[in-house]
Chain A
Amino acid sequence: MARRSVSAAEPPPAAPRPFWTIARRDTAAGLLFVAPQLAGTLVFILVPLVLVFWYSLHEWNVLANTFRYTGARNYELLSSDPSLPGVLLASALFSAGLVVLNMSLALLLAVLLNQKLAGIAVFRTLFFSPVVVSLVAWTIVWGFLLQHNGGINGTLRLLGIEGPNWLRTPATAMLSVIVVQVFKNVGLNMVLFLAALQGVPRELYEAARIDGATRWRQFRRITLPLISPTILLTSIITIVGSLQVFAQIAVLTQGGPGVSTTVLVYYLYQQTFQFHRFGYGSTLAILLFAIVALLTLAQWQLRKRFVFHER
């Protein structure tokens, strides 16, 4: 990156103004600095987004090697797809379950760890450790534990309980996938909540305690509002992230049993890369994008209502 450095000499007062004023230099510098990121965003994100829409209006038959314009046909197929309601339901269940479990567990752990006790840092590290374990490795181990004759059912049998075939029964399959994902990533949210909790001034709690407020009241009236920006941000990240969960489902259940764990992303993958329906897959991609955009915007709007601002 060639960047001209400015010599320290002052221009002589009578000379004309140089071309490279501070402002112009700043503009050039600014544009050059952001150029790689901007170019990348354009080429690898925005242009493909337009192209996805373009492909959704076509059908690409791989074997016959044709690429035909079909207009709105893929969208008609979308609205009449008998599998789609099930897929959307699975996605909704997964995201809702994941967000609720993840956020409440993260908050609980953060509150518990927000103590000045010996060894608390060790616990924090251990709770965080799944975040750095390889995603597929983590999923494979859980898959191994969840087998009908695996570790979890083995432990249950020691207690005299006959465990279900976790990954092959519709209800428990979805639960299993949610739980695997929650334990993998809750450490991240826990750390963020912990940082937020530690940013709450202790004096507020002292004052409340003197006034006779119970712990729970303190939590509701002081803690929650003051960490609400963090809650909002992590919930956006968690929800958007939940709509992208793919590897866990591919490894654990392959969308089964039935279509109970076929979330939208997995359905997209099936249609596009297993059945090679690239046009229809693009239509599903547009649907996914719309959902992500809507959810994010909705949550961002909600911040005016729920997020506490000091000013």
Chain B
Amino acid sequence: MFHCKTFASFRAIAGGLALSLALAAGAAAETRLRMTIWSANEAHLKLFNGIAEGFKKENPDVTVSFESLPFENYTTALTTQIAGGNAPDMAWIFETAAFDFVNSGALLPLTKPLAATPGYNLGELSPAATERWSKEGVLYAYPFSTSPFAVFVNNDLIRKAGAKTPAELIAAGQWTWPQAIATAQAVAQTGKGGLVVRDFNYQAWQYLSSVWNAWGAAPWSADGKRCTLADKPMVDALGFIHDAIFVKKAMPGPGQNVDFFAGDAAMTITQISRASLLPRDKRFDWDLVPLPKGPTGDYAIVGQAGIGVLQSGKNPAAAAAFVAYMTNPENSARLAQFFPSARKSLLNAEVLGKTNALLSPAQLDRVVVAGIATGKVMPAHTDFARLQQMVRAGLDAVWQPKADIPAATRAICAQIAPLLAQ
């Protein structure tokens, strides 16, 4: 009858549950750690898994896996995982989200575990590098990548368009933004892409800082309390960019997807760590040069990435131990081939050149070392996700063929002023 049938199924379910619980209990001795990252690059993953293997040799019951979340929504996806009770043990953190994570108490303080690791030498990290990742002198996330922005160049396309290559312009002391755009424009007229600010894509406007810093512009004041988007340097910089996109067509317009590393664009501005995307078969003659000079002269800008240990993970202590291992001097040198380290001892061309086969010492010196030494970090703020969205929505008014830039930036400032004041 009905009752007997349900009871039988209840018994079956209960039995099944007991069995799986027993299995789980037996496996509890093994610790599994998960780190979320935003890179799906094969070379990167090979390196990380190699480091995880090395850690396993000394800690046989700890297995570390790396979960790649999509780059463009990384912070949202990570926060959603945390909200959903599915927090990873360790996570990469963008420099733009650093304030939110560090100030929230979600991260495990790392100073003690790192300093306690033999041979770690926490003191060789420069204060400038760790500023954003610390609160009241305690480090909450390790800045494993301090990556200057630079210009990757496709000399083949430039020569075909009959324009001057950046190397020639630098030699002539004429490597300025107007000249760079002129070269990009020439290539764009041959049907290929001109200059691509990678990752910007009309969404992540923070990457435009690699351009507007040349005008000394910034979205907000240094203390983060005042909106400076409507100030002259920013309006000038945006005007220049707008002109490059809509008049000169030297930069791709909204909705256009151009990939430099596939050989489709003359130049791209991106972080050094993207060098791993260069085609290994040397399909085109590429070069790496510093950012062009702007009205305020030379400038450098860096992006950072930190690794944090989440308190809400299941094994924060083990996770901290892995982070200490992954970022110790020896492994930092290995990471440095893709992710320039903040360790002073690793900041010279020879060390970088040893592990980085693709870049020449001259390039490394000129771009990487100098960049890290003098570079400003990308703009960040607390509650960055919301600020980012509001500025992004407001900037859509700038990315129209006919745009009133002063009015648009004033409107954005009006909107975000209350948020900045907090």
Residues of A within 8 A of B (CB): 2, 61-65, 82-83, 147-148, 165, 167-170, 255-259, 262, 270, 273-277
Interface bracket on B? 20 to 34
Contact status B415-A83, CB under 8 Å: yes
Say how far A66's CB is from chain B's closest CB, in angstroms: 9
Interchain residue pairs with CB less than 8 A apart (6): A63-B82, A63-B105, A257-B393, A257-B397, A257-B400, A262-B393
Which one of B104, B312, B396 contacts A257 once the chains associate, using CB atoms below 8 Å?
B396
Residues of B with C-beta under 8 A to A258: 393-394, 396-397
Contact status B396-A82, CB under 8 Å: no
Contact status A165-B255, CB under 8 Å: yes
Chain A CB within 10 A, most for which of B255, B386, B394, B397: B255
Determine the main DSSP class of A at the interface with B.
Answer: loop
List residues of B (252-306) whose CB comes within 8 Å of A's CBs.
253-256
Q: In the bound complex, what is the Cα–Cα distance between A65 and B83 (angstroms)? A: 9
Decide: A259 near B393, CB < 8 A? Known: A63-B100, A64-B106, A165-B254.
yes
Q: In the bound complex, what is the Cα–Cα distance between A117 and B101 (angstroms)? A: 68
Contact status A169-B386, CB under 8 Å: no
Is B389 among interface residues, defined by CB-CB distance under 8 A?
yes
Which one of B2, B256, B396, B414 contacts A256 once the chains associate, using CB atoms below 8 Å?
B396
Which one of A62, A147, A255 contacts B82 once the chains associate, using CB atoms below 8 Å?
A62
Decide: A63 near B400, CB < 8 A? Known: A82-B415, A167-B255.
no
Q: In the bound complex, what is the Cα–Cα distance between A262 and B76 (angstroms)? A: 19
Decide: A169 near B390, CB < 8 A? Known: A63-B82, A148-B255, A276-B79.
no
Contact status A63-B104, CB under 8 Å: yes
Residues of A with C-beta under 8 A to B104: 61, 63-64
Residues of B with C-beta under 8 A to A255: 393
Say how far A10's CB is from chain B's closest CB, in angstroms: 27
Contact status A274-B385, CB under 8 Å: yes
Residues of B with C-beta under 8 A to A169: 400
Decide: A62 near B385, CB < 8 A? Known: A167-B255, A168-B255, A258-B397.
no
Residues of B with C-beta under 8 A to A82: 414-415, 418
Is B68 among interface residues, defined by CB-CB distance under 8 A?
no
Residues of B with C-beta under 8 A to A170: 396
A168-B399, A255-B393, A257-B400 given; name 8 further pairs at CB < 8 Å.
Answer: A63-B100, A83-B390, A168-B254, A168-B396, A257-B254, A258-B396, A262-B393, A275-B385
Contact status B415-A275, CB under 8 Å: no
Decide: A2 near B2, CB < 8 A? Known: A82-B414, A257-B396.
yes
Is B80 among interface residues, defined by CB-CB distance under 8 A?
yes
Contact status A274-B397, CB under 8 Å: no
Residues of B with C-beta under 8 A to A167: 255
Say how far B420's CB is from chain A's closest CB, in angstroms: 13
Residues of B with C-beta under 8 A to A65: 105-106, 312
Residues of B with C-beta under 8 A to A61: 104
Contact status B101-A63, CB under 8 Å: yes
Say how far B268's CB is from chain A's closest CB, in angstroms: 21
Say how far A28's CB is from chain B's closest CB, in angstroms: 17
Closest A residue, CB atoms, query B105: A64
Closest A residue, CB atoms, query B417: A82
List residues of B (376-422) whose CB comes within 8 Å of A's CBs.
383, 385-386, 389-390, 392-394, 396-397, 399-400, 414-415, 418
Q: In the bound complex, what is the Cα–Cα distance between A74 and B76 (angstroms)? A: 22
Residues of A with C-beta under 8 A to B256: 148
1/0 per position for B61-101, CB-CB distance to A under 8 A?
Answer: 00000000000000010011011000000000000000011
Q: In the bound complex, what is the Cα–Cα distance between A62 and B76 (angstroms)? A: 11
Closest B residue, CB atoms, query A255: B393
Say how far B393's CB is from chain A's closest CB, in angstroms: 5
Residues of B with C-beta under 8 A to A165: 253-255
Q: In the bound complex, what is the Cα–Cα distance between A262 and B393 (angstroms)? A: 10
Q: In the bound complex, what is the Cα–Cα distance between A39 and B273 (angstroms)? A: 56
Residues of A with C-beta under 8 A to B83: 62, 276
Residues of B with C-beta under 8 A to A2: 2-3
Say how far B396's CB is from chain A's closest CB, in angstroms: 4
List residues of B (198-242) whose CB comes within 8 Å of A's CBs.
none
Residues of A with C-beta under 8 A to B383: 275
Chain A CB within 10 A, most for which of B83, B253, B312, B418: B83
Report, nearest first, the 7 A-B pairs whose CB atoms are least far apart. Answer: A63-B104, A257-B396, A258-B396, A63-B106, A62-B83, A64-B104, A168-B254
Contact status A275-B396, CB under 8 Å: no
Closest A residue, CB atoms, query B3: A2
Closest B residue, CB atoms, query A168: B254
Say how far B221's CB is from chain A's closest CB, in angstroms: 21
Contact status B106-A275, CB under 8 Å: no
Q: In the bound complex, what is the Cα–Cα distance between A258 and B80 (angstroms)? A: 24
Which one of B3, B79, B253, B399 contacts A62 once the chains associate, using CB atoms below 8 Å?
B79
Say how far A67's CB is from chain B's closest CB, in angstroms: 12
